[in-house]
Chains A and B, each alone.
Chain A
Amino acid sequence: MKITFTLNGKKTTIETSPEKKLIDILRLDLGLCGTKKGCEQGECGSCLVLINNNLINSCLVPAFRLGGKDIMTIEGFSQTKEYSMIEEAFLKKGVTLCGFCAPGVVLSIANLLSNTSTPSTGEIRDALSGQLCRCNGFLSLIQVVVEVFRIKNRKKNAKRS
């Protein structure tokens, strides 16, 4: 079947079988390997993408559900100014990551950024709960998110003044 959707801001049409999962479409057909495959069961979060601004495990979404949707993967999000703030916070905090969960973590933070102005620690934990990580102890990720919001507010205030 032919499906048309918006991918990272560009209208995209593909020919695919209706059951094919979005993760395979991204990785195998479109060569977007930033979305990782850790379990294919919706459990690990490595395949997170934003669909219509909602954080979704792409390993659970069949092609036939994609028509007309607005999909943002890490490749698209990394071009935005919100991404720059997230990267700045990671670099400032000197977080070490193997990188496998990193796109999912970044998109989870992106989702939080668009939904909240000053999240509590509980909200930060909830926002990142869809992404497992086995190499980092999470506490530094919480600090990164706090830093992201600090940067965001600093930028907002700078604009105002």
Chain B
Amino acid sequence: MSIKTILSHKLKGEAIFTDDIAPDNMIYGYTVRSEIPRGTILSIKIPELPGGYICADYKDIPGQKFFSTFGEEIPYLAEKKVHYIGEPILLLCGPDKQKLQCLGEQVSIEYKAETPVFSPLHAPEENIFDIVTYSKGSFSGLKDNPCVSVKDTYTTGSQEHLSLEPLCAVSLWNEKSIIIYASTLYPYHIKDNVALFLGVSKKRVKVIVPDVCAPFGGKLFLPTMIAAHTSLLSYMSLKPVKILYTREEDITCSFKRHPAVMTHEIVTDEEGNLLGIYADIIFDAGAYNVMSRRIIEKAVFSAFGMYYCDHMELKARLVKTNKIPSGYFSGSGEIQSLFALECNTYKIAQKVKTDPYIWKKKNISLDCEKRSPPNPGKYSSCIAVIDEVVRISDFLRKYGAYEAIKKPGECGTVSGATPRGIGLVLCPHIIGDFYETETNTYTLTLRLGKNRKLKIMTSLIDMGTSKAAYFAMIASHILNIHISEVIIEKTDTDNVPDTGPTIGSRAAYNIGKCIEQACESIKCKEKKKGYPIEVTKKINLPVKNKKNAKKIPFTPPVITWEGTVVEVEVDPVTFITTCRGIWIVLDPGPVVNDEIARQHVEAAALQNFGFATMEVLEFKNGKVYQNDISEYTIPDITTVPDIHVRFIQNRAGIKHYPGRGLGDQAVTGVAPGYISALYQATNNSYTHLPCTPESIMELMQNR
């Protein structure tokens, strides 16, 4: 299908999502979940089930009872212990959804409750899943001499992916093999784990991924659990089984962004020259350890950002609590860490009476190279990015004007004008954050037919048409064929190889690079060989080399720079805040399609804007409080501010394609930019995200 045809299908409502799959004789599954945050299951009473209804618990699992998450293994169904409210314990299935729910609600479970841990700050030592410490020079010794410092404790909340398409899987067991339809970003994770779960060979598990809505990496691991549940029920009932999460289930039982508590301190001399940075970062992992090392690595790198100085101290840890597990969310780790760092750099600039642009330029350390193997282009565009964002936003003039008219110590201006503020942020982004390991077997295959039509076979998922467009453009450029001659094979594990998890920046850099190499091989073979020409490439870039892996804070092989400016206006009476504009400049390398890239950045910026201003997910005694869309507010078309996006196409170190990466990478600068702008406008320090109008008012009134 050409890219145009794909878009047309979507607009006509012809895109098939998992919930649109309804095989004959299909029945429904229902999940009975833990009602307590921590304890032991003593007994389970199941109501009498009518004919056609069955139930399953952990004892019915024929094979492996846990699945992997790049962290620790998570049980498909709780055996004895429960660790969070919502943990699956029992499954039911039957033909009538309402009756099923009724039966599910009649299941009564007796528990022996244990004292839960809800805050990572109050967790015992044994709850620490992972810890990283780093020290250079003597940060504590700095204060022996005259210096200026800013220290604050920042907190960021839990964030929900809120994919519009709820989690869903359909399984069909035919006594020999199983076919699974699932809304997932990682089909082979389902295939491999369900094979172990059912105790069958991998050949007998086929995963088909229909169209998917999975913004911000929200469907990476949990779909494996749901697919296993439907597979078990199908295996037992010998009928196709579907589980579609209700919106409430989707919000309250899916993995979230890690909440964090960060104490951050910056020390400079009286001229504002950076002397030291201290960071203490605590992540709330929830009940299970999902990908902890990757989260911590990104947080550690971002805690110092581009400021590398002589005295640095850091401690980062990921702590278990009895809440829903935190999982992958684009920008995981760095989004929290950069928030603390960049809010503090703005404050220290103000404290030493320098504008933040001058302060940053003075203290950006291009010596960052010392931390990593040389990679031309990695840092070179950092200055260009900040210069450009300052230019297009008119930052210097606005910053100076707002400083000049603000009343010291309050939210008001000497001229009577509405107070305004403008924040400036510079962020490095880690690209390809699922590092390939030496043991990886991820591949993709390209086949060029006689008619010079190219087929790309990969298990990566295309949520928009951007992956197809991006890959097609790389291939068409190298092989000199028209984009419409490039076909991306549908995601079916019988037809496409395991290309690993679908993460935007990984797709853009690692996989894009691999497509480039495969096309080059085809080009060479084309001269000597007949058609079809098939090339399979192992995905092995960028490999986190062993030497670098041990280095803390590690430096990623590839970085994209982001410069962001946010401008706000605050009503001095109601404290209602209006975002007057967001300006973002990125250097993703060569941009294959400017329009698609810009849309990606806008969507990512909007997500970060929601994270900064409105997306509140609260827990009451371990239970998610906001359980529907009306309670969990996300930005919509009425609240989206003007977002201006520019790309600096620095080609250093890059042959043709791909760029350093964009994919659906996070935009992390909006949150610290917004808070910094508020700091200038109101003379008040906000340290918690989201910073809602209510919290601004509360803080201003309590001042």
Contact = CB atoms under 8 A, between A and B. Distances in A.
Give the size category of A's interface with B. Answer: 35 or more
B203 interface: no
B602 interface: yes
Contacts of B10: 97-99, 102
Contact of B628 (A36, A39, A97, A99): A39
Given A91-B4, A137-B603, A99 B211 contact: yes
Contact of B637 (A43, A73, A135, A141): A141
A24 B673 CA distance: 44
Contacts of B20: 27, 33
A129 B16 contact: no
Given A132-B164, A138-B640, A41 B466 contact: no
Nearest to B597: A96
Contact of A95 (B7, B161, B215, B463): B7
A132 B604 CA distance: 15
A103 B604 CA distance: 22
A102 B164 CA distance: 11
B9 interface: yes
Interface string B167-182: 0000000000000000
Contacts of B604: 137
B558 interface: no
Interface string B629-648: 11000111110101100000
Contacts of B595: 93-94, 140
Interface residues of B, number: 59
Interface string A22-56: 00000110000111111111011010000000000
B95 interface: no
Contacts of A126: 638
Contacts of B628: 39, 41, 43
A142 interface: yes
Contacts of B640: 137-139
A38 B463 CA distance: 16
A9 B244 CA distance: 31
Contacts of A97: 7, 10-11, 464
B592 to A, nearest CB: 12
Contacts of A98: 10, 164-165, 211-215, 463-464
Interface in B10-64: 10-17, 19-20, 22
A87 B8 contact: yes
Contacts of A106: 11, 13
Nearest to A124: B637
B211 A128 contact: no
Interface in A111-153: 125-126, 128-129, 131-142
B12 A38 contact: no
A97 B465 CA distance: 7
Interface of B: 4, 7-17, 19-20, 22, 161-166, 211-216, 244, 246-247, 463-466, 469, 593, 595-596, 598-607, 628-630, 634-638, 640, 642-643
Given A90-B11, A97-B7, A101-B164, 18 more contacts: A34-B12, A41-B247, A41-B629, A43-B629, A75-B12, A78-B13, A95-B599, A96-B466, A96-B599, A97-B11, A98-B164, A100-B15, A100-B17, A100-B213, A102-B15, A135-B215, A136-B464, A137-B643
List the 3 closest A-B pairs by CB distance, nearest first: A34-B13, A137-B602, A96-B464
6 contacts: A36-B17, A44-B164, A129-B638, A135-B213, A137-B643, A140-B595
